[in-house]
Amino acid sequence: MDRIAHSPELELILQCSRTRIASADKAQIRRLLSLPIDWGMLIETAGRHGVVPLLYHQLKKQAADLLPSDELALLRDLYLRNSGHNFRLLHESKKLVKAFADANITMIPFKGPLLGEMVYGDCALRKASNDLDIVVREDDIQAASEILHRAGYHLCALLTGKQLQKQIHLRYHIAFSNHHGVHLELHWHTVPRYLASFSMPEVFDHCLQVSAADIFFFSFASDDLFLLLCQHAAKDFWLSLSMVCDLNELLPHLDTAAIEPLLHKSRSHGRLRMVLVGFYLVHALLKTSLPQAVERQISLQPKIRQIGDAISERLFEAKKKPTETGYLLNKYRFFWAMQERKREKMRMLFEKLRQLPGV
């Protein structure tokens, strides 16, 4: 890796990108701040990885006396701007939760401010999403669309009945927006079909009601949520450190008794490699201790470390970005490496071919 991979700037980002910090790590943060810091690089890299809120929160909490006033003010402004956007999305989420509850339709918010409230303890500490993501059963798509229309949302693309059915058959979400500029994706799965390893009805069967930010809403069970977040991050090619942070913050919510069932479920669906890579990144980048059962599985599969180290390197490399063609080749090479069984590899090829024009 290049210079930034060994820099105090990156070390600071990794030390601060979590809500729970040990005493030794607090001392390390203060030690790093005694070194010459390229604040432009620090803030730009933290922004690119969606961890400015955590960086500001921990620097202010652990070492406010060591921070230059201009940089502290800039970080505070970025934090407050992110918080404002998150609170607007949280307010919109509350309205949608009530609208779906009134219609007796099970709707599960995915990621977004409610994930921030649930696992970070404060949505202000999580990077604000560009949009809201909600998940419903496939049978409820029409009813959910009507609820969204009544709530002031409209489809971003005009779809006839036939086109809509094709979209439902081939894709995994439909885009909406409202006149306040809030974008929303209505999902019936959280990832494209070529990455989906199980049907959503079984996940809905395990969902539970939780409370956060004075809202009662449906959420995925913690073990299902961990698996879904790993799939989502893989779908997005692990583009930012914030994806690892989500898993890290979710980890304490995973009951010890849920670890073995999570590994078993992941294995039975051909997604053990994907989940173990998520665990590996949490440990490798954020130094979080892992459950023994997870460590054992990682030690049995050298490919996990190989894939995880390649992701870590790519996350922080400052090399020239590849061309679009090069990016896609790397992305699908990665998808291929993440598939454990031949049938998943064949399904991935089949699903991509089905989406080609004229097919």
Average pLDDT, the chain: 89
- Whether the CB-CB separation of 18 and 249 falls below 8 Å is answered with yes
- Whether the CB-CB separation of 231 and 271 falls below 8 Å is answered with yes
- CA 291 remoteness from chain centre: 21
**Would you state the pLDDT for residue 45?**
96
* CA pair distance 46, 75, nearest whole angstrom: 10
16 versus 164: the higher-pLDDT residue is 16
- Whether the CB-CB separation of 236 and 225 falls below 8 Å is answered with no
Backbone angles phi, psi at 108, to 5 degrees: -115, 115
How does 271-298 read in b/e, with b if 16+ C-beta sit within 10 Å? bbbbbbbbbbbbbbbbebebbeebeebb
- Whether the CB-CB separation of 354 and 170 falls below 8 Å is answered with yes
Residue at token pair 């977040």: 229
Token pair listed for 343: 């049938």
Residue at token pair 């890579």: 277
**Would you state the pLDDT for residue 132?**
98
**Would you state the pLDDT for residue 161?**
65
For 148-157, how does the pLDDT look when each residue is reduced to its tens digit (9 = 90+)? 999 999 998 7
Question: What is the DSSP annotation of 30-67?
Answer: HHHHTS---HHHHHHHHHHTT-HHHHHHHHHHHHGGGS
**pLDDT bucket at 4, cuts 50 / 70 / 90:** very low
**pLDDT bucket at 1, cuts 50 / 70 / 90:** very low
For 298-321, how does the pLDDT look when each residue is reduced to its tens digit (9 = 90+)? 999 999 999 999 999 989 876 556
Backbone angles phi, psi at 153, to 5 degrees: -100, 150
* CA pair distance 315, 318, nearest whole angstrom: 9
**H or E stretch covering 211:** strand 208-212
| Residues comprising the chain, all counted | 359
For 53-75, how does the pLDDT look when each residue is reduced to its tens digit (9 = 90+)? 999 999 999 999 999 999 999 99
DSSP summary character for residue 6: G
Backbone angles phi, psi at 226, to 5 degrees: -60, -45
User: Which option is the CATH number for 84-220: 3.40.50.970, 3.40.50.1970, 3.40.50.300, 3.30.460.40?
Assistant: 3.30.460.40
How does 2-20 read in b/e, with b if 16+ C-beta sit within 10 Å? eebeebbbbbbbbbbbbbe
Strands 183-187 and 132-136: parallel
Residue 108, burial from CB neighbour count under 10 angstroms (0-12, 13-18, 19+):
buried
Give the three-class secondary structure for 178: strand
Backbone angles phi, psi at 73, to 5 degrees: -65, -40
The CA–CA distances, whole Å, from 283 to 1, 109, 120, 161, 334 equal: 19, 27, 18, 47, 21
* pLDDT for residue 347 is more than 90: no
* CA pair distance 93, 128, nearest whole angstrom: 13
* pLDDT for residue 264 is more than 80: yes
- Best CA proximity match to 19, nearest among 211, 181, 253, 175: 253
Would you list the domain boundaries of the chain?
1-67, 84-220, 222-359
**H or E stretch covering 80:** helix 69-102
Residue at token pair 């590849």: 322
**Would you state the pLDDT for residue 337?**
78
Helix pair angle (8-16, 52-63), 10° resolution: 90
CA atoms within 13 A on the CB side of 19: 19
